Amino acid sequence: MTAPTVLEPAAITPSAIAAAKPAPLGRIPELDGLRGAAIFFVIVWHYFYFFPAKDHQSQGVLRSLYISLEKCIALGWTGVDLFFVLSGFLIGGILLDAKGSPSYFKTFYARRFFRIIPIYFLWISCYVALRALSGPVVLGGAAGPEGPSSWGRIFAHFFFVQNLGFIAYSGVAAAWFVSTWSLAVEEQFYLIAPLAVRYISRRRLMGLLMAVVLFAPGFRMYIHYHFHAATNLEPAYILMPCRADALALGMLAALGWRNPAFRRWLSEHTGAVYSLFALLLAGVLLLSRYSPDQHDLTMVSFGYTWIALFYLSALLLALSRPTGPVASLTRMGWLRELGTVSYCMYLIHQTVNLLLQILFEPSALGTGNWKSLATSVSAGLVTYGLARLSWTYFEGPLQRRGHAFKY
């Protein structure tokens, strides 16, 4: 399969987008920028948000300013939701374009293997080695007992089942593994999506995806009230069916983007698209102000879906209005760079921060004082540096190896 031609942003007009049949998606700068925004949101939230109480009364100007900053980044955890929408759009688009290929399954899973598995398995193996060889020295520096408590629960991560609610983390293990619940969601999605696209007509697939979007909030509510597990995160937040609405919305966008009539509508109704984006943004701001906790009932019921719709609108604006403000923002060089190395950054960022805090500021661990914040800034730079090295010498070559498999 030859690489798709990527037009310069200035050469793309809304009318050209509506008229042209979209080629299989290659490296689109705007999508890299959205991916970079997602990892930026997640890291800022993990590094600098300390869950201030709603009635918190700050002492001093600087502390008051910091509380205001925390309110601004309170929804940083939704960067994961942006990842889900992007994954649904990109993976769904790849599968739709390759639906008739005789090597459909082989090529898809070979490429996914080389992109996801090597660095992820290496990351788990590093923890196993760290715990086996230097546990009393390094792991003992973290607050709380080290967990998971059994080797079996560690090895469960190799099978992407850590989001099923049977693993509780503490100590370094929490920083090392707790974020990987979203990788389990993605891998479970990769088992279902290829089958659905291959064997279901596009019309029925669209109906199925719409049903998933409508079904997910009700399923989350049921899980919220009836399923309680010994895990750090609520099952309604980490189970794949509970988060399938974001993935399904991304796939719906992939279906729509391959429909000339839909692209034409986007190009001819700019005001309506921006109005919808503004409405969804207003809802996100209200959620940030009154219900920022990802385990809050408002979020569990409809909040996740609303946020996914907001990110979907941003994605469509970035694609359909290449000269607009959203697309211009997502083409910023530093965001695209973060997007390129986002996978490794996501895997390692909490562990890098914790280990640097243990090394430099163990007495201030989790307190949010200024020395701890400075250490977090350093951790962000170290995280990026390690991720860039990983992409240059490990992930990038492996991804190119994966793309040797052709549809």
- What is the mean pLDDT for each group of 10 consecutive residues in the chain (407 residues)? 38 45 63 97 95 69 84 96 98 96 97 97 93 63 56 90 89 91 97 97 97 97 87 91 98 97 94 96 96 94 98 96 95 97 98 90 62 91 98 97 95
Closest CA to 350 of 366, 331, 329, 330: 366
Contacts 24+ apart (CB under 8 A), 100-107: 101/407, 103/405, 103/406, 103/407, 104/194, 104/198, 104/407, 105/194, 105/198, 106/405, 107/405, 107/406, 107/407
Interatomic CA distance for residues 236 and 17, integer angstroms = 38
Q: What is the pLDDT of residue 366?
A: 54
Determine the 3-state secondary structure of 252 from DSSP.
helix
CA–CA dist 257, 90 (Å, integer): 11
Q: Which residues contact 211 (CB under 8 A, 6 or more apart)?
A: none
* Both structure tokens of 236: 């309604």
Q: What confidence score (pLDDT) does residue 20 get? A: 47
> 257-265 — which CB contacts under 8 Å span 24+ positions?
257/22, 257/89, 257/93, 257/319, 258/22, 258/93, 258/96, 258/97, 260/18, 260/19, 260/21, 263/17, 263/18, 263/22, 263/320, 264/18, 264/19
pLDDT at 368: 59
Task: Give the per-residue pLDDT at 183.
Answer: 97
pTM here? 0.90
Q: What is the pLDDT of residue 82?
A: 98
Which distant-in-sequence residues (6+ apart) come within 8 Å of 133 by Cβ?
Answer: none
**Among candidate residues 345, 350, 374, the one with its CA nearest the CA of residue 171:** 350
Domain boundaries along the sequence of the chain: 27-47+74-402
Residue found by looking up tokens 């914040």 in the block: 373
Helix-, strand-, coil-residue percentages of the chain, each rounded to 5: 75, 0, 25
In angstroms, the first-to-last Cα distance of the chain is 7
Enter the tokens of residue 187.
């891998």
**What pLDDT sits at residue 360?**
82
